[in-house]
Each structure stands twice: as C-alpha cells, then as structure tokens.
Structure 1
Amino acid sequence: MTHNNLKHHIRWAWSISQGYRSKLLLYFVLELLAIALSLLFVYLSKKAVDMAISPTDIPLRWTLIGIVATVGVGLGIRAYTGWLNERIKMMLTFELQRNMLDAQMLSVWRLIKNWHTGDIQVRIQTDCEEVANMIAKTLLSFILTAIQLLASMVFLWYMDPMLALMILALSPLFLFSKIYFQKMRKLSQEVKGEESNFSNILQENLRFRLLIRAMGIFPKRRKKLTDSQRDLFGLKMKQLNFSTYTQSVMKVSINAGYLLTFIWGIYRLQSGQISFGTMTAFLQLVARIQTPILALITFIPGFVRFRVAADRLLELKSGEIESQMDQQRLRGIAALEIQNLSFRYEDKWVLDHLNLSLRAGEPVAVVGPSGKGKTTLIRLLLALIKAEKGQILLTDRAGTRPLSAAHRINFAYIPQGNSLFSGTIRENLMLHVQKAEHIDIQKALWVACAEFVMELPEGIDTVVGESGMGLSEGQAQRIAIARALMHDGDIWLFDEVTSALDRKTADTLIHRLLDYGENKLCLFVTHDLTLANICKQRLYLD
C-alpha cells in the first residue's frame, strides 16, 4: 500500500470538506458557546455554595436562576450540535462513498482487474466512514477538547496554581508518543487488510454459493472463510489488548488525579485557605480537565484509523478515470471500419493488425477458440480499452469520425452469460432507454424470443432476483437480448447470444434478429457455426 504523508492527507480532507464548511463552522461556534456555559456553571455553582454558607447582599435566587439557565441553554445547544454533527457526517459519508464508487465504475479496464469486489466494498463502506468521521467530528472534537482543557486549566490556575501543575503532571500525556502512534497504525493496517480479505472470501462464497455446492467444495470454502475469521480475530485481539492496557494506565492516572485533588482540597479547606464553594469548584474543574485529556488520548486511534483509511481510499482513486462526456447519438450509421487494430495484455499480443468492415445489413460473425481476442475486440468497440495501434472509424450521414466513449450510446450490447439486475423485468428492460428512443416492449420481447415473460405471474413487472435468480439461464439471456434491443442502437454487439438456448429457440432467435436488424451493423461473437454460416462475413481469430 502507498503511504501518503500527513500534509497530503490534510489537503485531501480539506478538499472533501468543501460544501460543508459553513455547517461545520456553525457546529464549532455553538460548541465553543457550550464550553463557555459549562465554565460559567462552575463559577456560578461556587458562588451559590459560598452564598449559601455566608449570605451576601445579592439574592441567592438570581445565582440559582443563572445556574438553571446555563444548564438549560447548554443542554439545548448540545442536543442541536449533536444532531447537526451526525447529519453532516452522514451527508459527507454518502457523498464520499458516491465519489469513490463513481471512480471505480469509471476506472479503465487495466485498473479494474487489480481490485477484488469484496475489498472495494470494505473500502467504500468502512474507510469512507472513517474519513468522514474524522472531518466532521473527530478533528473538531479534538480542537474543542483542547480549548476546553486550556480554559479549564486557566480557571484552575487562577484558583490554585499548584493544583493545576499537579493535575497536569499526573495526566497520561506520555501516550502521545511516537511509539504508541506507530503501534496503533501498524495494528490498524493489519486489521483493515484482513477485513478486506475476509470480505473477498465472503463475497465469493455468496456469489457462487450454488456452484460451490454443485462442485462439492463447500467444506474447503467454509474452511477458507473460518481461517480468515481466525486471523481477523487474532489481529483484533491484539488491538483490544493494546487498547485495554493503555486505557488501564489512563484510568489509574485519572483516579490518582481525582484523589489528589480531593485530599489537597480537604487539607486546604481544613486550614481555612479556601472556601467550601472553591472546594466544589476544584472537583468540578478536575473532571473538566481530566475528561478532555482522556478524550485527547482516544483521539489517537481515530486519527490512526483516518490515515490508514485515507491511504486505502487514495490508492483506490489513484488510477486513470474515464472522462465523462455527453453521449453522441449518431444518425444513420452506415459503416464501422477497423483499421490495423492491435492490442496486448502485458507483453502478449491478442490482436495484431486486425482489419474489419461492418456495414448495415451485412452481419459479421467472429469465431475462434477462447483467448484469441474475441472479447477484447468487443471491449475495443465499446471504448472500454484503448488500442495500442490502429483505429476504429464510424461513418454516418455527417461523415466519418474516430470511435470514442461518447459513441457508446449507439451500441446495443449483449454480454455473454447472465447480466440481469435484481428488480422487475420492466426495470431491466428500461435500464438504458433514452426518452422516446426505443422500440415497443412487446416488439423487443418477441424479437428476443422472450414472449414467455407475459405468461409470468406479474408479467413484465415480475421481480427477478440477483443475477436473474428465479429464471433459467436461457430465459435470463433472452430478457437481456430484449433489453439491448429496447435501446435500438444502430450497432449490435452480441457475445455468444445463443449459448444458453436449445437449437430450435436459437434458430428462431437468429431469424428474428437478422430480419429485424436488416438495417443494423451486426457483429456476433460466437461458437455457433449455424449462426456463423448465416452471416455474410466471417472473421476467424486463431
């Protein structure tokens, strides 16, 4: 993992906070007011106790009213700031998660293959929350706590300088050491890494649960998950043990400070050097000093988690992102020309000086063994990857132009295998429909040989599960074909469109597709020789 320096983390966090800074400033100012009211409460309570023992000319009820007012207003402010802060944190978390998800959705192909889905999910869900929590809450809480500590120490110094020095000396500030920070960061990195590994295994087990049972490998996959849980448990126990030790040291120091204050105050009260009201103020101020110190100590783990999470998110976002541009719907596309196209993965060329011409009404079949570049060709046509050499040209009524990602809207693409999303069939069919630019649903279902949809209990509003759960592979494939046809693009890219169909259904589908697509540019990647022989052009990749 790449480790960015603190300055980089701060600049990145500052950029994320844009749009929320005015709300965070309001939260900060109100919290400052709440701190001032809490110190005013200490002062007024001291006055009230002294006035109760030694009456003065000022009525006691006014001091008591002031105490009640400070408590009431303080509670109201804290209730509002708590609500405001949680709202900001949620909004910031969701926005950061959207941005990270967008970055992954638009990553170039060579980066997508570097990340496991389970790892990405952990980073987007938990790491984004860690960063948002630092920006919206932890950092401001740290500053406010430091201000509260400083103000309380000044107040205590004013009342008894020696006591202030003793309290400060016994506070467990040594835990802010570099060794403590490094230990916490190392443990956090190890836990985050194992959480991602566990999520990877869990995601795969759930995704392939039927396949795992069918292959009889459930015991091995379960053991893999259990082993990851065991490793994660061990790492979290290390964190827990370290945290328990440091917290125990802090609690001993806190209690020692309180006992010291109590004993010191009793002796000074007995000797008549302080009043009873001052004694009560001492005890309240000690709590207001030691509690912030404890809060400052607990800031370290949160800060460590933030830096680890920031590294993981910046690593996730560091790759090349496909620029977003307005989609260009072309009219009357007559030809697509592939000229001297070459592409390689690492050091292996899969396409070398490929030439191909697609014309309306002249379907092309691309055949050949696996691993010879058929799927790569589709990715190049969809501008998901860039060719090393050569070019792809589109010709429409306005002329000829190089193919780009902005032209993707002109393609109707049917990938190999099941590609349905959870939801209703209607939602799947309408996924990338642009306004009125689509064919009739009934027509699309008929061309795709998916008329069976109308016989389902809820028709096109029937809900299908994840990856088309509840449908046969062939049914899901035909609905996916209908979905692509609904878009009514001028260029059809079909990847193994008949792979899950019986021969009779496949022949009917081919006939309907070619008949309806007589004015389309059609490219079929296929192992179906019947389909290949019907096409007017055949390209063999070997």
Structure 2
Amino acid sequence: MNNLKWLWKISDGFRPAIACSALTGTLHVCVSLAFVYVCKHLIDIATGISDDRLGSYIGWLASCLAMQLLLSAARSRLTAQTEIRLRNELRRKLFVHLMDSRWNGQETYHSGDVLNRLEEDVSTITNALCSTVPAVFITVVQFGGALFFLSRLDVRLAGILLFIMPVALLFSKGYVRKMRRMTREIRETDSHIQSHLQENLQHRILIRTLEYTEKTIDKFANIQFLLQDRIVRRTNFSIFSRSMIQIGFMSGYATAFLWGIFGLQDGTVTFGMMAAFLQLVAQIQRPMVDMSRQIPTFIRVFTSIDRLKELEALPSEESSPSLRMEGPLGIRVNHLHFSYPGSNRNVLDNFSHDFKPGSLTAVVGETGAGKSTLIRLMLALLQPDEGEIAFYNSKETVKSSPHTRCNLSYIPQGNTLLSGTIRSNLLMGRPQATDQELYNALYLAAADFVTALPDGLDTPCGEGGAGLSEGQAQRIAIARGLLRPGNILLMDEPTSSLDKETEETLLKRLSGQVKGKTLIMITHRETIAGLCKEVVRMTKNTPAKQESISQGSVHD
C-alpha cells in the first residue's frame, strides 16, 4: 500500500496525460470490437445469411482500420512524451535530494549503485506508470468487452472459457514473494556491475600500472556470471508459471474452435459467428496473457520503488538562506570533539583555537591528525559531537552551519576540475565573473599560463582535468576558489602538485594581493608553515596534549 501511495505522489501533474493514454487505448479496444462485429456481418452477407448492404459494411471496415491506426499512433506519441517528462522530473527530484543530502564522512551507497538506481530503476517506474498502468486498464476493458460480446453470441462458451483458464496461479502470494526476492537480487547484482565498471574505468591507468588488469577482468566476469545465473533462475521460474496458464489458453482456443465446428455441422453456428468466436477468444486470451506478463513487471516496479525510497530516506542537509557576514571574519573553535560514524577513535579531541580575522594560519601535522576533518567541520559538511565552531566579526558571532558556508572559499586538495572548459570551471566560483576577473584570479593562483593556450579560457578540460598537468589543474582550482566572495579562504594542501619555484610564486602573490581575508592553509610542508604568521600543530596524541600543542604551538 505504501508503494502505491508513493506512485500516486510522484505521478502528480502527469495523471491527466496518463488517463488520456488509457482513454485512447480504451477507444482502440472499442474500435477493435466493432471491427469483429463488422467482419461477422461481412461474412454473413457473403454467405447469404444476411441481406445487409455489402458496400456499407466495407466502408465501416475501412473506417475501423483507419481509426485503429490513428488511435494507436496517438497513444504511442502521448505515452512517449509523458514518459520522458515524468522520467526527467523524477530523476531531477532525486538528483536534487542527493546533492542536498547530508554527508557523514562516508557515502552510504557506491556512486555506481546510485547511478544504476537513477537510470534503471527510474526508467522501470516511469515506464510502468506511463505504459503498464494504462495497459492494464485497457486490458481489463478489452477482456470485459470481448467476454460480454462473446456471451451475447453464446453464454455457455463464455462460461467455459472462464472456467478452464486458471489465472489464480499467477496471483498467489508465494509466486509474488519469490519473484520479488529474485528481482531484488538481480537489481543489486546489476548495480554491482555498474559500480565495478565505473570505478575501474575511472582508475584504469592505476590498475594497469599495478598489473592488476587481469584480476579486475576476472572479477567482472564473475559478477556477470552471477547476474546471468540469477536471471536464468528467475526466467525458468517465470516460464514454468506462465506455462501453466498457456495450457488454459490453448484449451480455451481449442474449445472455441471445436464448438464452432460442431455448430457449423448441426447448423446452429454461421460462418460469421465462427469467425467472431475465434477473434473474440483471441481478444479474451490476449488480455489474460498480457496480465500474466504484467505480474513480473509490477514486481520489478515495487523492487525499484524500494531502491529509490532508500535514496529518498537519506537525510537532507539543513536548508536555510545564506548568511553573509561583512568585514574581516574569524573562526573560533571551542573544545571540539569529533569521530566518524562506526569509529571508536576521536579524530578531534577537545581541540580549541581562535583563527583571528585577517590572520594567515598554517595547520600542520601528521596524516590522520584531523587537519582535513577540521576544514570539513568549518564548512559544516560534518557536525561536531561536542564543542562549537563560530564565525565572528566586530558586530556579531554566528554558529557554523550550512547557511554560513557562503563566507568561505574552499580549495580542496588535488585535482578537482570537472569536464568542460577552463572558463566553465572558473565560473563555478563566481558565475557572473567577467573575463578580466577570471584572468586576475588566474594570475593570483600562478595560473596565468592559460593566457598562452591557443583557446585561452575556452580550452577544454577532460574528466578530472585531463589535458592538463596535475600542477596546472591544481592552480586553476585555486583560481576558482579565489573567485568566491567569502572572506575566509580555506586551502587544503594547495601546493602539493607544485614545484618549489611555482609554490613560491603562488604564496608571494597570495600574501601580497589577498588583503582583508582570513587564510587557513592545511599543509605538510614546513616551508609554507614558516611563511605564515600563525601555526597550529596537530597530532594524534592524547586529548590534553593535543589541545596544548594546538594552542601552545601558535606563534607570531
């Protein structure tokens, strides 16, 4: 029932189009039944049973054929338009939710699994809503209409057909439960395949240099074999179940055929009635076959709904308007405690420090001491277990939260460029920036090499900055961060891919041009720490010692 409510919710705004598709299909069924009626009369006229005008019924026959073609084309067009609109809207809503979902230091689902859900599961659900649901309605109408028409010709034959077609098997709880479990296993294995493909293609150079390609291919083959085995098992189970129904369908057709034969023999059935029998039996059997095929479809739909509801259940980040604070800003960290979910080790244990407005601070320490975690807490990507982070200026103090993020310019570690152009990457920092502002930021980041490129700002960047060196990509990322209007600049290992000369140029330009901003630099290089006015040293030692080192190691 909850799944049906979920389908009803996501179909909001598309229900009239879906209903129109069902109505068009229903009209097509009515015309099809009229076609059977016309065919019967034409045969009766030709055999002398009826003295109606042949030309009139030929005209009706042509009209029925034309109407069927038009209605079929109209329904196909309407279904395709509605489905792609609904698919885009559902995928957009899920994408927005995922982009706004809260991060706790690790992703709940593999990115390949998420992509598989956004592609395959969304397609399964939208196809069901726009095609399968109207088809089921149309099938019920077709079945009822054909059965009614057949009962008007011979009520006993209609009763026999209903009695010998055992459709109850497909609706048994055991069948549905087993099919749903099998389908869930298949969807999970399919997600595993996409995750394996995405991750290994993304890191194929690393895998090749480690000479791990063969093992990666073997693992991929094993996952594919598992998927194949699960699909075959589900198919075999489904074929057996449907075969039981086919026996009933074959019996029904044979009954109608023999009924007509004996009726022709004793004169109780005309050739027109015989033709109508056979067509109507087909119109009764086909809906029942279609219904039997829709059961696995709805099972796949309910499995896909469960998988998308898991994405929707991811908690969203706090939503509130951005709060921009004017003037020089500082960040005060008071008695901060933090550990990642599932870990029994505190990454930060009673850490305190005041990053004063306009200061230039280096945060140094060994790997795992919590340097990058501290930045994530300042960005409110993570929430502290205890303690507080607050932004302050001469007028006010505001606790750190997603709505204070606008005051920060963040430059993450390593190559973080997206596919596109240098311009499109820079404009992520300030969408309205002019070319001159872009070039100024590139100069400050020691990335003025861009001016010498043949296409300048419009030079294409491949995935992960492909086409540029690591050092070039890092400097462009720094320029992107400098374009942000925030008065606090967070830089995580900003010179890790730079040579000594370029590093010195970058630091010189930053210190000379970035005035009034508070700079916090995560680094492992003592040369950078020596250029900063303040240094915070972090270790993985005991809580008390960490706090005393963090505060006591600060120097002017």
Bin of the TM-score, shorter chain as denominator length: over 0.9
Pairing 1:353–2:347 present: no
Is the CA contact (8 Å cut-off) linking 1:448 and 1:479 kept in structure 2? yes
Is the CA contact (8 Å cut-off) linking 1:364 and 1:539 kept in structure 2? yes
Is the CA contact (8 Å cut-off) linking 2:105 and 2:382 kept in structure 1? no
SS at match of 2:353: strand
Q: How many residues end up aligned between the 2 structures?
A: 536
State the one-letter code of the partner of 1:91.
R
Pick one of 170, 176, 179 that aligns with 2:174. Answer: 179
Alignment TM-score, normalising by the size of structure 2: 0.92
Deviation at 1:111, TM superposition (A): 7.8
User: What is the match of residue 117 of structure 1?
Assistant: 111
User: What is the match of residue 442 of structure 2?
Assistant: 445
Supply the distance in 2 between the matched residues of 1:25 and 1:323 (Cα, whole angstroms). Answer: 38
Supply the distance in 2 between the matched residues of 1:238 and 1:37 (Cα, whole angstroms). Answer: 40
User: What is the match of residue 254 of structure 1?
Assistant: 249
User: What is the match of residue 459 of structure 1?
Assistant: 456
Is the CA contact (8 Å cut-off) linking 2:493 and 2:522 kept in structure 1? yes
Pick one of 65, 84, 87 that aligns with 2:81. Answer: 87
Pick one of 486, 489, 494 that aligns with 2:486. Answer: 489
Supply the distance in 1 between the matched residues of 2:111 and 2:337 (Cα, whole angstroms). Answer: 29
Deviation at 1:247, TM superposition (A): 4.3
Which deviations, in whole Å up to 9, do the C-alpha atoms of 1:300-326 show, x marking residues without a partner?
110110111111111122121114433
Pick one of 211, 214, 219 that aligns with 1:216. Answer: 211
502-511 vs 452-461, which moves further: 452-461
User: What is the match of residue 197 of structure 2?
Assistant: 202
Supply the distance in 1 between the matched residues of 2:49 and 2:236 (Cα, whole angstroms). Answer: 54
State the one-letter code of the partner of 2:322.
Q
Which deviations, in whole Å up to 9, do the C-alpha atoms of 1:441-495 show, x marking residues without a partner?
1111111111122222322211111101121111110110011112232110100
Pick one of 324, 327, 331 that aligns with 1:329. Answer: 324
SS at match of 1:348: coil
SS at match of 1:433: coil
User: What is the match of residue 511 of structure 1?
Assistant: 508
State the one-letter code of the partner of 1:325.
S
Which deviations, in whole Å up to 9, do the C-alpha atoms of 1:242-273 show, x marking residues without a partner?
34434444444433322221121011012111
Deviation at 1:499, TM superposition (A): 0.6
Is the CA contact (8 Å cut-off) linking 2:104 and 2:381 kept in structure 1? no
Pairing 1:165–2:162 present: no
Supply the distance in 2 between the matched residues of 1:145 and 1:157 (Cα, whole angstroms). Answer: 18
Alignment TM-score, normalising by the size of structure 1: 0.94
Task: List alignment gaps of at least 5 residues for structure 2.
Answer: 540-556
Supply the distance in 2 between the matched residues of 1:218 and 1:56 (Cα, whole angstroms). Answer: 78
User: What is the match of residue 311 of structure 2?
Assistant: 316
Is the CA contact (8 Å cut-off) linking 2:170 and 2:295 kept in structure 1? no
State the one-letter code of the partner of 2:235.
L
State the one-letter code of the partner of 1:21.
R
Is the CA contact (8 Å cut-off) linking 1:130 and 1:309 kept in structure 2? yes
Supply the distance in 1 between the matched residues of 2:219 and 2:100 (Cα, whole angstroms). Answer: 32
User: What is the match of residue 501 of structure 1?
Assistant: 498
SS at match of 1:539: strand
Q: 1:66 to 1:323 in 2, by over 3 A?
A: farther
Pairing 1:273–2:254 present: no
Is the CA contact (8 Å cut-off) linking 2:329 and 2:358 kept in structure 1? no
Supply the distance in 2 between the matched residues of 1:360 and 1:437 (Cα, whole angstroms). Answer: 28
Is the CA contact (8 Å cut-off) linking 2:335 and 2:350 kept in structure 1? yes
Identity %: 37
Is the CA contact (8 Å cut-off) linking 2:330 and 2:358 kept in structure 1? no
Supply the distance in 2 between the matched residues of 1:396 and 1:44 (Cα, whole angstroms). Answer: 86
User: What is the match of residue 72 of structure 2?
Assistant: 78
Supply the distance in 2 between the matched residues of 1:161 and 1:291 (Cα, whole angstroms). Answer: 20
Is the CA contact (8 Å cut-off) linking 1:424 and 1:461 kept in structure 2? yes
SS at match of 1:383: coil
Is the CA contact (8 Å cut-off) linking 1:414 and 1:481 kept in structure 2? yes
SS at match of 1:109: coil
463-472 vs 341-350, which moves further: 341-350
Supply the distance in 2 between the matched residues of 1:491 and 1:439 (Cα, whole angstroms). Answer: 23
Pairing 1:133–2:127 present: yes
Q: 1:193 to 1:56 in 2, by over 3 A?
A: closer
Supply the distance in 2 between the matched residues of 1:302 and 1:112 (Cα, whole angstroms). Answer: 34
User: What is the match of residue 412 of structure 2?
Assistant: 415
SS at match of 1:64: helix
Is the CA contact (8 Å cut-off) linking 2:180 and 2:300 kept in structure 1? yes
User: What is the match of residue 101 of structure 1?
Assistant: 95
228-237 vs 323-332, which moves further: 323-332
Is the CA contact (8 Å cut-off) linking 2:328 and 2:358 kept in structure 1? no
Q: 1:256 to 1:342 in 2, by over 3 A?
A: same
Q: 1:172 to 1:90 in 2, by over 3 A?
A: farther
User: What is the match of residue 284 of structure 2?
Assistant: 289
Pairing 1:238–2:238 present: no
SS at match of 1:364: strand
Is the CA contact (8 Å cut-off) linking 2:422 and 2:461 kept in structure 1? yes
Which deviations, in whole Å up to 9, do the C-alpha atoms of 1:17-55 show, x marking residues without a partner?
001011112112222222111112212221222123237
Supply the distance in 2 between the matched residues of 1:324 and 1:476 (Cα, whole angstroms). Answer: 32
Q: 1:333 to 1:23 in 2, by over 3 A?
A: farther
SS at match of 1:297: helix
User: What is the match of residue 384 of structure 2?
Assistant: 387
Supply the distance in 2 between the matched residues of 1:439 and 1:396 (Cα, whole angstroms). Answer: 30
Supply the distance in 2 between the matched residues of 1:68 and 1:186 (Cα, whole angstroms). Answer: 49
491-500 vs 372-381, which moves further: 372-381
Supply the distance in 1 between the matched residues of 2:380 and 2:249 (Cα, whole angstroms). Answer: 63
Deviation at 1:147, TM superposition (A): 2.0
Task: List alignment gaps of at least 5 residues for structure 1.
Answer: 1-6
State the one-letter code of the partner of 1:46.
K
User: What is the match of residue 370 of structure 2?
Assistant: 373
